[in-house]
Amino acid sequence: MKLNPEQQQAVEYIGGALFVLAGAGSGKTRVITEKIAYLITQAGYKPHHIAAITFTNKAAKEMQERISHRLGKNQTRGLIVSTFHALGMRILREEATNLNYKKNFSILDSSDSAKLIGEMLASSGREPIIKAQHQISLWKNNLLSPDEVYAICENDWQMQTAQIYSRYQATLQHYQAVDFDDLIRLPAILLRENGEIRLKWQNRLRYLLVDECQDTNACQYELLKLLTGLEAKFTVVGDDDQSIYAWRGADMENLRRLQQDYPQLKVIKLEQNYRSTARILKIANQVIGNNPKLFPKTLWSNLGEGDAARIMACRDEVHEAEFVVQQIAKNKLLYDANYADFAILYRGNHQARLFEDALRVARIPYQISGGQSFYDKAEIKDVLAYLRLLANPNDDPAFLRAATTPKRGIGETTLGKLNAYAQQHECSLFEASGSLNTLATLSTKSRESVQQFIALLRDYQQRAQTDDAGETVQNLLDDIQYENYLLENHAENPKMAESRWKNVQDLCTWLAKKSEERNLVELTQLIALMTLLENKDEEIDAVKLSTLHASKGLEYPFVYLVGCEEGLFPHADSVEEHGLEEERRLMYVGITRAKQQLTMTHCKKRKRAGTWQYPEPSRFLDEMSSDDVVRIGHTSGEVVSQEKGRKNSRALLAMLNQKIGGN
């Protein structure tokens, strides 16, 4: 399919700073891919001078595959297609010594970070730890140092958290570790303060393309500015109407700053939608039209008018779930669709349970977005703790996990003595374990256990320099008898032990495959990065249950947008004008996920904390033209009873089973 005129213009414009205002479903990924091809084949750019930056590993992988298919791997050798964090890691790894870090620094994941902060808070409660962790992350994303934070604290809690931030950052430096926020923050600080290094990277990355620029935070925007320099050779793609991540630091004002920082900024609008029918887009335009516009646009489509959207008033949340599941069963038969063609989208995760129950009763397979990542599994984190130590012996969180998994006679008392020495002498636990003074304070049995553990690590640190990564890890697992540990730990459930050991073997296979490209240190850093913003869902034929936030970037022929009620969506906390605008953008995102059919539901009553409440329908539903929606059940006589609904569901299920049996 040919590019439309606006897409073609966006591809060929290389005269300076360019903002491509890409509405939902307007083909922005294709534009970025074609522009990379144009830069290489027509504009004289070498692949290694181009970087395309996305927000998720999945998006980066998809873009890399598209451009490789478009031009062939030989013509794209050296091209950088990565997330912001992966690009930051690349810069940080090369420039580590300029920030007083070793090249084999460790990357702490969210759970490691939370554990450190929890120890500093002297709290085991999840809520205060997560709250402090989130605040520190926001400060980092705004490029605020601990000293700068002290000056802006508004209450005692912020002051306490600022103190934790200061201690936390000092501990990271001591551990020779960074967290995910540092992967962008530290390179931004370095490029801002060191003109020579800044010029070096500007000369290396001569053209930048940034996807989803409305989701950038202050730190990411600063890194973009520092890398592009005065020539401003870049293309950013985004949509202010899809800015829905303010809660994690995204700042839509960055789009306004683009116009201020680059007065010659060219803006090209992509308004033709290739996903949804015209009526769905009319509803989306009507809703988002009630927000103030930074860059006005109107989505349109050549895919036909399509069906009117439906707004269903349900009796209560149980009826809502049964109605939606009944409609899924009906439409699967009617349109000969796959289960994966259907999505149930909601504002909060707590809404999923009743839909799960109804889907199970109807024997319809489903998948909840955001399942556990492979790298979040306990057995994988155990193995990665050893790999992190081989890469960086000063990684104390990894030391604590590896030293105690499997159990080897290094208990809390021993670790307490090692930790006390490490704090007093400002060294790592690994270094403390080699101190004769520390070892002298331990019992004979504990001292031997520590010495055996350190000897094991030193042996495999040497092997990691030359041996195959997969083979090294397999030998390490044999030495620590990790398979036996799993069997003993799951003696009552051997199948669980077998499943976990298989996961470990899958990791070894992956390491062996990747060892041709990277050494074990680089692979360890890569794995840590892969846990960030990863799409964790396998592609299976199942109905997708997802929050609206997690649905962004996806599309489905049939979408059920549920719980459209005041207090739920828009959320009760979004009472201020700015919050309401983001909620409206979230509704816009939900609507534009639908390709063929859109159904929105709300309940006349909903039980909360054991009490019936009678919410008003979402104000967003009133912003939709009656010409483009059909309202069902808005008078008492139109609501299908639960009993009748169940009978309909049973009849549809029987039809579905009969059809399956007939095939």
Annotated active-site positions, please?
28-29, 211-212, 242, 593
Phi, psi at 13, each rounded to 5°: -80, 115
DSSP percent split of the chain into helix, strand, coil, nearest 5: 55, 15, 30
Is 28 annotated to bind a ligand? Reply is yes
User: Which of 588, 586, 627, 595 shows the shortest CA–CA distance to 288?
Assistant: 588
Q: Is 86 annotated as a binding residue?
A: no
Tell me the pairing of strands 80-83 and 611-613.
unpaired
25 is annotated as contributing to ligand binding: yes
Q: Is 27 flagged in the annotation as binding?
A: yes
Sequence-distant (≥ 6) Cβ neighbours of residue 55 within 8 angstroms: 83, 84, 211, 212, 215, 533
Tokens of 428: 């790592």
Are residues 220 and 87 in contact, defined by beta-carbon separation less than 8 angstroms?
no
Is residue 619 within 8 Å of 277, Cβ to Cβ?
no
The verdict on whether residue 23 carries a ligand-binding annotation is yes
Binding site annotation covers 24? yes
Block residue for tokens 């309401």: 580
Confirm or deny that 132 is annotated as ligand binding.
no
Query: What Cα–Cα distance (Å) separates residue 576 from each residue in 58, 498, 571, 583, 590?
Result: 34, 52, 11, 11, 21
DSSP class of 105 = -
Listed in order, strand segments (DSSP E) in 191-335 are 207-210, 234-238, 266-270, 272-273, 300-301, 309-314
633: left (phi over 0), alpha (psi -120 to 50) or beta: left
User: Measuring CA to CA, which residue among 303, 301, 297 is closest to residue 239?
Assistant: 297
* CA 323, 324, 325, 327 torsion-angle sign: positive
Contact indicator for 271, 26 with CB cutoff of 8 Å:
yes
- Known binding-site residue numbers: 22-29, 275
- Known binding-site residue numbers for ATP: 22-29, 275
